[in-house]
C-alpha cells in the first residue's frame, strides 16, 4: 500500500511543479509588454522595474498554485486511468480512497501555506508595489501617468494629456477648479515637458505654444486669454504621495489589520461588509487548492484522458467556472445581499460537495 501511495504522490509532484512554472511564466509574460514599455518608452530605471516584477510574483502564485494543483491531478491521475492502471489497482482489491487520501493531505497543506501567504506576503507585496509606483512617479512622473484620461494626482490641478512619450507631452490641458458655480481656469498647450524635483516633492511642468486663462484683476470670476510660447508651472506631489504611501488599502492589510479597521469603522457607524469580504476572500482563495483537488481527483479518474492538452482545457474550464462563482459571490457580499462569511465560501462548498459525492461513488463502485 505504501508503495502505491508513494507512486501516486510521485506522479502528482512532477506535474505540479511543471504546471506551476508554466502558468507563472505565462502570466509574467503577459505583463512583460507593460514592463518593456516602462523601460523603453518611459525611461524607468531597471531597479524599480525589477522590484515591480518581483512583487508581482507572489500575487500571481495566489492564482497559479490552485490551477497548478488541479492541472497536476488531472494530468497524473488522467494518465494512470487512461493506461488502465487504476482499473488494475481496483481489481486487486485496493481501496481507492486510501490511495487518494495522501493527495487530499497535500492539497490541505498547500492551502494552509497559502493562508499564511495571502495574509502576510501578498499584503506586503501589494503595499510595496504601490510605494514603488509612487517612487517612480516622483522620479519619473510620466511613468505613473496614463494618456487619454483625467489625472487628479496633483494638488489644485486636473490634467488631461493626449500623448506621453518619456517626459515629453503632446496636447496638454490643465484645469484649475475655482469652486462652486465658477468656471475652471484652463491652460492649453501643444507640447509640454516634465522636470522632476524629487528632493522637494515637486514637478516642474514646461509648457510650449499654448494659451492660459488669467484672472481679470477687476473681476476674479472672469478670465482673459494669454498666449505664450513657453510657460512654467509647479505641480505639488503631496496628494499623490498621500494616496499611495501613507494610507493602506484593504488589499495591503493583514487579517489582523483588517479586523482592527473593522472595529474602527463599526464605531463610526459604517457597514464593514467590504472588509469582512476581504478577510474571507483571502482564506477562501487559499483553500481553493484543497477544494479543486477534491473536485479534480474523481474527475480525472472518470474522464480517463491522458492527453495533456485536454487535461489543461478541463482544468481551465473548471477554474473559470470557480472564479466566476467567486466574483458573483463577492458582488453579492459587498452589496449586502448575503453575509460575507457565507457568500465567499459558496464556490468552495459547491466544488467540495460535487467532488465528495463523486469520490464516494467512485470508491463504492
In this predicted structure, what is the pLDDT of residue 217? Answer: 63
Is residue 144 in a domain? no
Can you give the three-state secondary structure of 21-60, one letter per residue?
HHHHHHHHHHHHHHHHHHHHCCCCCHHHHHHHHHHHHHHH
Dist CA 235 CA 238 (whole Å): 9
C-alpha cell at 300: 480525472
Dist CA 44 CA 134 (whole Å): 12
Is residue 149 in a domain? no
Based on the fold, state whether residues 6 and 90 are members of the same structural domain: yes
> Does residue 222 sit in helix, strand or coil?
strand
Q: Which residues of the chain have pLDDT under 50?
A: 239, 241-245
Output the CA torsion 245→251→255→256 (10° steps).
20
Q: Which helix (H) or strand (E) holds 190?
A: strand 185-197
Beginning with the edge strand found earlier in the chain, give each strand of the sheet holding 202-216 in spatial order: 150-151, 158-165, 168-176, 185-197, 202-216, 219-236
Number of domains in the chain: 2
Is residue 148 in a domain? no
In this predicted structure, what is the pLDDT of residue 331? Answer: 87
Number of H helices, E strands in the chain: 12, 6
Residues 70-95, buried b or exposed e (16+ Cβ, 10 A)?
A: bbbbbbbbbbbbbeeebeebbeeeee
Based on the fold, state whether residues 281 and 132 are members of the same structural domain: yes
Based on the fold, state whether residues 130 and 263 are members of the same structural domain: yes
Is residue 326 in a domain? yes
In this predicted structure, what is the pLDDT of residue 159? Answer: 83
In contact, 75 and 15? CB cutoff 8 Å? yes
Residues 221-246, buried b or exposed e (16+ Cβ, 10 A)?
A: eebeeeeeeebeeebebeebbeebee
In this predicted structure, what is the pLDDT of residue 111? Answer: 95
In this predicted structure, what is the pLDDT of residue 295? Answer: 94
Based on the fold, state whether residues 206 and 346 are members of the same structural domain: no
pLDDT tens-place string over residues 266-320 = 887 777 888 899 999 999 999 999 999 999 998 888 877 666 778 788 888 999 9
In this predicted structure, what is the pLDDT of residue 242? Answer: 47
Based on the fold, state whether residues 224 and 251 are members of the same structural domain: no
Based on the fold, state whether residues 183 and 211 are members of the same structural domain: yes
Q: Which domain holds residue 202?
A: 154-236
Amino acid at each position: 500500500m505504501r508503495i502505491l501511495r508513494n507512486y501516486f504522490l510521485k506522479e502528482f509532484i512532477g506535474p505540479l511543479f511543471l504546471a506551476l512554472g508554466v502558468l507563472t511564466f505565462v502570466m509574467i509574460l503577459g505583463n512583460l509588454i507593460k514592463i518593456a514599455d516602462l523601460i523603453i518608452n518611459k525611461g524607468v530605471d531597471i531597479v524599480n522595474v525589477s522590484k515591480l516584477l518581483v512583487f508581482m510574483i507572489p500575487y500571481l502564485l495566489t492564482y497559479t498554485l490552485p490551477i497548478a494543483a488541479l492541472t497536476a491531478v488531472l494530468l497524473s491521475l488522467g494518465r494512470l486511468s487512461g493506461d488502465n492502471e487504476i482499473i488494475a489497482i481496483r481489481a486487486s482489491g485496493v481501496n481507492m480512497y486510501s490511495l487518494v487520501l495522501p493527495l487530499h493531505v497535500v492539497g490541505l497543506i498547500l492551502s494552509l501555506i497559502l493562508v499564511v501567504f495571502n495574509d502576510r506576503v501578498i499584503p506586503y507585496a501589494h503595499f510595496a508595489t504601490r510605494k514603488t509606483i509612487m517612487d517612480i512617479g516622483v522620479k519619473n512622473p510620466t511613468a505613473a501617468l496614463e494618456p487619454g484620461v483625467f489625472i487628479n494626482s496633483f494638488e489644485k490641478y486636473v490634467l488631461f494629456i493626449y500623448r506621453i512619450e518619456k517626459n515629453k507631452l503632446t496636447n496638454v490641458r490643465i484645469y484649475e477648479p475655482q469652486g462652486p458655480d465658477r468656471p475652471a481656469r484652463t491652460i492649453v498647450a501643444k507640447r509640454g515637458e516634465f522636470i522632476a524635483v524629487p528632493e522637494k516633492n515637486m514637478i516642474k511642468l514646461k509648457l510650449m505654444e499654448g494659451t492660459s486663462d488669467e484672472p481679470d484683476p477687476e473681476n476674479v470670476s472672469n478670465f482673459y486669454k494669454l498666449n505664450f510660447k513657453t510657460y512654467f508651472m509647479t505641480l505639488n506631489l503631496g496628494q499623490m504621495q498621500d494616496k499611495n504611501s501613507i494610507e493602506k488599502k484593504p488589499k495591503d492589510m493583514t487579517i489582523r489589520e483588517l479586523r482592527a479597521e473593522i472595529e474602527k469603522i463599526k464605531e463610526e457607524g459604517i457597514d464593514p461588509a467590504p472588509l469582512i469580504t476581504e478577510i474571507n476572500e483571502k482564506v477562501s482563495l487559499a483553500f481553493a487548492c484543497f477544494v479543486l483537488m477534491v473536485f479534480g481527483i474523481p474527475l480525472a479518474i472518470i474522464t480517463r484522458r491522458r492527453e495533456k492538452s485536454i487535461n489543461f482545457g478541463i482544468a481551465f474550464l473548471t477554474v473559470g467556472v470557480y472564479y466566476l462563482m467567486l466574483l458573483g459571490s463577492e458582488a453579492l457580499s459587498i452589496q449586502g445581499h448575503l453575509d460575507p462569511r457565507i457568500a465567499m465560501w459558496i464556490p468552495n462548498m459547491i466544488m467540495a460537495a460535487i467532488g465528495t459525492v463523486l469520490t464516494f461513488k467512485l470508491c463504492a463502485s
